[in-house]
Structure 1
Amino acid sequence: MKQWLTGLLAFVLIFSFPASGFSYSNPQIVSDSWRWENGDFYGEGDPFILKFNGVYYLYTSTVDDKPGVKVWSSEDLVHWEYRGLCATEPVTKGAYAPEVVYWNGDFYMYTALLRDEPGTTQRGHRVLKSASPTGPFMAQTGNMVNGIDGDVFIDDDGQWYFYSTGNGNIDVRPMSDPYTFGEKSNTGAVMKGWTEGPTVIKRNGKYYMTYTGNHVWSDAYRVDYASSSSPVTGFVPAASQNPILLDAEGDHVGIGHNSIVRGPDLDSDYMVYHSHANPGRNLNLDRVVWNGNKMLVLGPTTSEQPDPAMPEFSDRFQRNELGDGWKVVGGGHWGIRDGSTLYQDTVGEPGQSHMLLSQKATDDNFTAEFNLQQVEQGTSANPLIGAVFSYKNEKNYGVAVLNRNQNRLETVFRVDGKDTDQVTTSLPVGYDYTKWHQIRVEKEGSDYRI
């Protein structure tokens, strides 16, 4: 693989290996919580966490008598810094269950507004858009979907789906773009009585949905889950395991409306949910574990828990010089721009591979995430940006790159100095290489998932 990096690039790199410490306990306390006009605590209801470039962003429901959506950020899922109002338009008054998805350079917020204003119909979901996870998010649509608790899931093939409350069940609508919702259908996910708060994830080719039932102010508010081989139908509740999260006695009750997020170690999953604060609602976090295709939650907990494990190595390049932790192979110029991102703006001599290698070694099995963007198009006939992994020497390593001209992901291994057959996967139409994207590499034994 020759001249596989061209143009001006920017990177944030994170490699996994568990390294946890300290401890946290539920409920978590964050600053600048919402309060009612009379000063009563409203708190962090319906929490949702977005992970972007290794940083977590927390969004929660807005108190009914005020406009705006608040956002907090964290690098470890435990210590949260208030970042202010990420949306302030009057239409966000009483914004419920805001969720944010990143796609191709923009952030899209989906939030339900429950209250009707004189002369307008605010009831239902609206879409807001921003260039940053901290806003400002600006409304792009009117009411697109009636109901509450919208959740967006983007499948491996780039197809979008929107899940929300139906008639005592969870409905799904295919989406042709961030603003266009298709016809609804019943996913099959249902509880006895009211059903709300869906979250959909995909694991090993199977789709898992968590959802919440009973009234939000009931002590027996709870979380169930269902699974399916399809993202749109056939979700079967895990009857022998449900509810997977419930506590109806004592002080830690009213547990529900969760989202699921990948932890800082790149491999662990966590469930974030709320509980009653009397008044208001509190933020909680517990570990999700898997037994084959069965989902388990190690909670609800109120005792001290290990902090989420951090990666063995990460570099956010928050300095001015590259330092001794990196090695240039094959020439070219690399540097750090604005104390925040790594870049490459020239390559070395033709006929060589041009790489920047971390001096930190991984275990044989590892997970790595490379966040990157092509700031400028290179002049080479091979306009690629990407990542090197499993590097042993110049004759043995793997490369995963994004090919702007072919609009695809390309993976190749060099073994004993010879390249294997290239594996390619097409990327969505309109893929913008100048925006942040992530290449994720998972290695277990001789198997790789790119």
Structure 2
Amino acid sequence: MLWTTLLLFAAVSHAQTPAKAPPVYFDWFEYAGRDAAFDVPLPAGYYRNPVLAGFHADPSIVAANGKFYLVNSSFTYFPGIPVFESADLVHWKQIGNVIDRPTQLDFDGLSVSRGIFAPTIEYRDGTFYVVTTATDSGGNFISTARDPAGPWSDPHWLSGIGGIDPSLFFDDDGKIYLLNNDEPPGPPRYDGHRAIWMQEIDLARFQPVGPRKVLIDGGVEPEKNPIWIEGPHLYKREGWYYLSDAEGGTGPQHSQVVLRSREVWGPYMPYAGNPILTQRDLPSDRPLPITNAGHADLVEGPDGSWWAVFLASRNYQGRHYNTGRETYLLPVQWRDGWPEILPAGQTIPYAVRAPAWMRGKAMQTPATGNFVHRDEFDAPALAAEWLRVRVPKTAWADLTSRPGALAVHPLTEGLETLRNPAFLGRRQQHLRFEASTAMSVPAAGVAAGLAAFQSEAYWYFLGVRRLAGDRIAVFLDARDGSGATRTLATREIAVTHALRLKIEGDEGDYGFAFDAGDGRGWQRLADRVDGTVLSTDRAGGFVGALLGPFARDERASRSE
């Protein structure tokens, strides 16, 4: 009787489950950026900062096999931990991701700015190592690969190691050390009081061994209660061990400091000229400001010169930045045995004299500067630039359903979900930009279009849905942190077979438009919409804005 009841219930439930909504097709996606800071022509032999524009936070770098490899934080985006390759430190190409399989990690239930924090990359004896923190989703782990393009191993979890920002140091005597940020040895004296710890690690077993010791408690000037000492990196040069760390948090007070010791376990003495990088003491009204500078990693070039990659942000209206924390490059000067990235009081330059081994080459790259980039969706696989919010449980995007178009299969999740919505985003890389697409009209019960997404609580959705008869509605929905979705504008038009959508941004002003293919061209749906909704300063967290296609099945009730 019980089995009969269960089978009947299952049959009724299956009959009541609606069939999957048909996909929405996007013929192409175009992104164009035109920032004032990039309009100035580059002098011969110079490169442009940032070298990776748009949300590329917490860079870490290593030299290996005659090239350079760099990784960034990816938080809860998938695929995670992008891996970039360069022959010259300036021209970077993404070659893979450390987290590229849904089985490796799960970020469901997490806000966008949790997940992967500050990965670091090292190389030794034919193996690449990435060590990082899966915040609120597993803790600290190491992944390895023989080829930096992948495949990378599943996480090797580090038992007994808390905190964030782990890194590895390979000493000359064969010993290997794990450094990271964690709580101080006693009760914290103030909010933001942290310490840098170190312990040997056995990489054959991926487990720490021996005693764990504090190298820095608080910061380089503990009497001043410095906050958030983090992002440790250890280097060895001319018999000295150099310990470099970020201080001050990742906002306007961010900085980079350095200490050194003759012994790997210390004691480490701070440089009298600290910080070796910051922008916190500069006038707030300076033109085209770059702020939040810190979280640096150093690398030696083939000619013996040293270079630093670090994060910083490009602001508008004093404090807003929608492009997130970007990756910058500057030369390192050694003065009296100490590394300096930027002298005090100097602004981070947008144009920098290039490394000697690459002068004379073309310096423009699609990773930075002003450019137009168009994806025709005609490749065998999605380009590396496309990100999903959290790890997908089903394959809802493909390039095979209709060759030459991106098919997005609608899910029931909205952009406010803490799971995985059917949204593909690429980074906003400019303060002034346009993002546009051509798409099919979605089926009844489906809303689809373009989204500008900062987090589950801050976004815009320029969407289309069918109405009764031969009519469709073009609408603009938004969330601004209030917890409710608001419709800011809507327009009813006749069904069309040539629909285009466009989102424009000019610092804090955003505009939304559509073209119904009726000969009228672009029609404005909403102008001068508040773009600060998408700024990291307002939304919080550590990411920048993404732009791209989104589709939602609205036939079922929302289940958050």
Report if the CA contact (8 A) 2:197-2:213 is conserved. Answer: yes
The C-alpha deviation readout for 1:58-100, integer Å capped at 9, x for no partner, is: 1100132434221111100001112132431444553222222
Correspondence for 2:277: 245
Indicate the structure with greater strand content.
Answer: 1
Supply the distance in 1 between the matched residues of 2:217 and 2:331 (Cα, whole angstroms): 23
Q: Does 1:147 align with 2:163?
A: yes
Report if the CA contact (8 A) 1:97-1:149 is conserved. Answer: yes
- In the TM superposition, structure 1's runs of 4+ consecutive aligned residues that sit over 6 Å from their partners are none
Look up the equivalent residue of 1:135 and give its one-letter code.
G
Supply the distance in 2 between the matched residues of 1:247 and 1:196 (Cα, whole angstroms): 18
1:229 pairs with one of 258, 262, 281: 262
Q: TM-score when scaled to structure 1?
A: 0.57
Supply the distance in 1 between the matched residues of 2:88 and 2:77 (Cα, whole angstroms): 32
Shift of 1:281: 0.7
> Helix, strand or coil: the match of 1:79?
coil
> Helix, strand or coil: the match of 2:156?
coil
Shift of 1:303: 3.8
Shift of 1:305: 1.3
Look up the equivalent residue of 1:307 and give its one-letter code.
A
Q: Does 1:254 align with 2:292?
A: yes
After superposition, residues 232-381 of structure 1 pair within 5 angstroms as 232-238=265-271, 240-248=272-280, 249=284, 250=286, 251-265=289-303, 267-277=304-314, 278-279=321-322, 280-298=324-342, 301-310=348-357
Supply the distance in 2 between the matched residues of 1:51 and 1:294 (Cα, whole angstroms): 21
Supply the distance in 2 between the matched residues of 1:255 and 1:51 (Cα, whole angstroms): 23
Correspondence for 2:125: 104
Report if the CA contact (8 A) 2:88-2:358 is conserved. Answer: no
Supply the distance in 2 between the matched residues of 1:45 and 1:105 (Cα, whole angstroms): 27
Supply the distance in 1 between the matched residues of 2:217 and 2:238 (Cα, whole angstroms): 20
Number of aligned residue pairs = 273
Report if the CA contact (8 A) 1:50-1:100 is conserved. Answer: yes
Shift of 1:257: 1.0
Supply the distance in 2 between the matched residues of 1:84 and 1:294 (Cα, whole angstroms): 35
> Helix, strand or coil: the match of 2:50?
coil
Correspondence for 2:234: 200
Q: Percent identity?
A: 27
Is the radius of gyration larger for structure 1 or structure 2? 2
Correspondence for 1:71: 83
Supply the distance in 2 between the matched residues of 1:65 and 1:81 (Cα, whole angstroms): 19
Supply the distance in 1 between the matched residues of 2:266 and 2:309 (Cα, whole angstroms): 25
2:95 pairs with one of 80, 83, 86: 83
Supply the distance in 2 between the matched residues of 1:233 and 1:150 (Cα, whole angstroms): 18
Supply the distance in 2 between the matched residues of 1:189 and 1:28 (Cα, whole angstroms): 33
Q: Does 1:135 align with 2:150?
A: yes
Report if the CA contact (8 A) 1:27-1:302 is conserved. Answer: no
Supply the distance in 1 between the matched residues of 2:101 and 2:212 (Cα, whole angstroms): 29
Q: Structure 2: state its 5+ residue gaps.
A: 1-42, 108-114, 184-193, 220-225, 315-320, 360-560
Q: 1:166 to 1:271 in 2, by over 3 A?
A: same
The C-alpha deviation readout for 1:198-252, integer Å capped at 9, x for no partner, is: 1111111111111011222x211111111111112311111x2111111024521
Q: Does 1:177 align with 2:203?
A: yes
Supply the distance in 2 between the matched residues of 1:161 and 1:142 (Cα, whole angstroms): 16
Q: TM-score when scaled to structure 2?
A: 0.46
Supply the distance in 2 between the matched residues of 1:131 and 1:163 (Cα, whole angstroms): 23
1:188 pairs with one of 216, 222, 233: 216
Report if the CA contact (8 A) 1:25-1:301 is conserved. Answer: no
Report if the CA contact (8 A) 1:255-1:276 is conserved. Answer: yes
Look up the equivalent residue of 2:173 and give its one-letter code.
D
Supply the distance in 2 between the matched residues of 1:301 and 1:154 (Cα, whole angstroms): 31
